Amino acid sequence: MPAPAQSSTTAAGQLFIFDHPEPLWEAAADQIAQTIRRQQGRATLGLATGSTPRALYRILARHHQEGGLSFQNVSTYNLDEYYPISPLDPNSYRLYMHQHLFSKIDIPPNRAHVLDGTVPESAVEAHCAEFERWIEHDGGLDLQLLGIGRNGHIGFNEPSNLPPDQAAALPTRKMPLHPVTRADAARDFGGNEAHVPAFALTLGTRAILSARAILILATGPSKAEAVAKAIQGPVSSQVPASFLHTVAPKVTWMIDRAAAQALR
């Protein structure tokens, strides 16, 4: 893996700080490729969307096209999807995954799972429970890839006032999006927050924290506060990424200098 400028063990997991994002993407892609190879190609991966993993997916596609990395026997489960949303909508995470990864690798379509933003309201709970059962049936997640929201969310598990043990054990479910999340998503919806869906389906904290390894990425100064609170603050439902403290031995943080600037 490209060497980070700094590495340390923190209360929230192993922390790698890179001077620039490019080697960070390479290192993250290496960890995913290694997970797949270690499992003889049969890995089950939890994937994220958003601006953070775009470059990483480009590199993973290169690992496939030039390095012979096969996804034929890999299963993927995405963290979240807006609700309601059609998979044909340019802002759906289903389309994002198709454009940035699935169409560029050899993953069979029936192994690439994204929560369905078209299920009727009455079927949401059953669909979310089924998604978790599919993951279990696939042997559980070998690696969960995460970004972090400016408000400290992971997936769309938003800040709450629940007791931390409850907030860290939430099931996959429909969630109202936090105002900060909607403001940040507005850039994808023509700059208009009113066009951002009010809800999303999200993998719950319970399933995320159950993954056998967790790789969380953050770049840029806008993430610095959330990163510092998650890594150096107390475990708090106000900062869902702080739940990573509870599973620290299996967590890897890869962040750039800008995202590290609020760490003490």
Does 48 sit near ligand F6R (CB under 6 A)?
yes
Beta-strand relationship, 214-218 and 251-256: parallel
Q: Catalytic site residue 80?
A: yes
Nearer to ligand F6R, 52 or 75 (CB): 52
Active site residue 153: yes
Judged by CB under 6 A, does residue 204 bind ligand F6R? no
Q: List, in sequence order, the alpha helices (H) in 4-67.
A: 21-38, 54-67
Residues 139-198 that bind ligand F6R (CB under 6 A): 147-149, 153-156
Catalytic site includes residue 63? no
Q: Does 51 bind ligand F6R (CB under 6 A)?
A: yes
The full DSSP string for 150-167 is TT--BTTB----S-HHHH
Please tell me which residue in 151, 178, 245, 256 is annotated as part of the active site.
151
Q: Interacting stretch for ligand F6R, rule CB under 6 A, among 2-10, 45-53, 65-73, 108-116?
A: 45-53
Residue tagged active-site, from 78, 80, 142, 178: 80
Cβ count near 126 (within 10 Å): 10
Q: For residues 172 and 203, is the Cβ–Cβ distance under 8 A?
A: yes
Q: Which of 13, 21, 46, 50 binds ligand F6R (CB under 6 A)?
A: 50
Q: Classify 184 in phi/psi space as left (phi over 0), alpha (psi -120 to 50) or beta.
A: alpha
The reply to whether 193 belongs to the active site is no
For residues 151 and 83, give the distance between their C-alpha atoms in angstroms, rounded to a whole number: 20
Hey, which residues are catalytic here? 80, 151, 153, 158
- Site residues for ligand F6R per CB under 6 A: 48-52, 79-80, 147-149, 153-156
